[in-house]
Structure 1
Amino acid sequence: MRTIIFRTIAPYLAALMVLFSIFVLLRGHNEPGGGFIGGLIAASSLAIYGIGCGVASVRRAIVFHPMGISGFGLFLGAIAGLPSFVYRQPFMTSQWLEFKFFDVDVALSTPLVFDIGVYLVVVGAISSIALALEERESD
């Protein structure tokens, strides 16, 4: 399905989907969404880009190997639980850091770090599967 229309629109659609996936990731702790759903949207955008423009262009776009992205996400998810040990609380107890940034209250939390880790695991794993299937299909 590599029509000229799809090849032309795929990069723009993929970029829009990645932006939406980041929006879903960041709003996911307080409202519906989160790392898993955001990661699925981002992996779907990479799959659309791969179908439209080829696997080689996707591999150039993501720079790192998808399983490396997944491994880093797993590491980040595990690291998110460590600050609770500093305060002698059970593992994965939420910790919050609140500060003002140009008169805007910013609240950073360990659940956000965990969600980013889940996002990266899902993007890496699903992208690895999708790219492997697309490579096998194109041979």
Structure 2
Amino acid sequence: MRTLIFRTIAPYLVALMVLFSLFVLLRGHNEPGGGFIGGLIAASAFAIYGIACGVAPVRRAIRFHPMSLSGFGLVLATLAGLPSFLLKVPFLTGLWVTPNVFGVEVALSTPMFFDIGVYFVVVGVITSIALGLEEREND
């Protein structure tokens, strides 16, 4: 399904989907959404790009092997529990801090870092599966 229209529209659609996935990721702390569904949206965007342009352009676009993204996400999600462990509260207890950055209070929390880790795990695993299936189909 590599029609001219699809190949032309795919990069714009992918950019919008990745941007929306980041919105869903960051919105998920106060309303439904978060790392898992945001990761699925981003992985779907990469799959669409792979269908439209092939596997090699997707691999160049993400710059890292998808499974290394998963490994990074797993480490980040695990490290999100470290502050609670150090403060002698149950592992993965949510902790918040609000530092001032250029005069603006920024709310940071361990659940946010956990969700970002889940996001990278889901993007890496699903993108790896989708690219593997696309490569196998083209052989």
Q: TM-score range by the shorter chain?
A: over 0.9
Equivalent in the alignment of 1:55: 55
Stretches of structure 1 that go unaligned for 5 or more consecutive residues are none
Structure 2 matches for 1:9-24, cutoff 5 A? 9-24=9-24
Stretches of structure 2 that go unaligned for 5 or more consecutive residues are none
Equivalent in the alignment of 1:128: 128
1:95 aligns to 2:95 (yes or no)? yes
- Any idea what the Cα deviations from partners look like across 1:33-64, whole Å, max 9, x if unmatched? 10000000000000000001110000000111
Separation in 2, partners of 1:52, 1:104:
42
Separation in 2, partners of 1:45, 1:89:
39
Separation in 1, partners of 2:99, 2:129:
40
Equivalent in the alignment of 1:69: 69
Q: Give the SS at the match of 1:13.
A: helix
Moved more, 81-90 or 126-135: 81-90
Deviation at 1:103, TM superposition (A): 3.9
Separation in 1, partners of 2:69, 2:99:
30
Aligned-residue identity in percent: 75
The one-letter code of the counterpart of 1:7 is R
Equivalent in the alignment of 1:6: 6
Separation in 2, partners of 1:125, 1:99:
33
Q: Give the SS at the match of 1:37.
A: helix
Deviation at 1:102, TM superposition (A): 3.7
Deviation at 1:15, TM superposition (A): 0.6
Deviation at 1:86, TM superposition (A): 1.9
Q: What TM-score comes out, normalization by structure 1 length?
A: 0.97
Q: Give the SS at the match of 2:89.
A: coil
The one-letter code of the counterpart of 1:122 is V
Give the count of matched residue pairs.
139
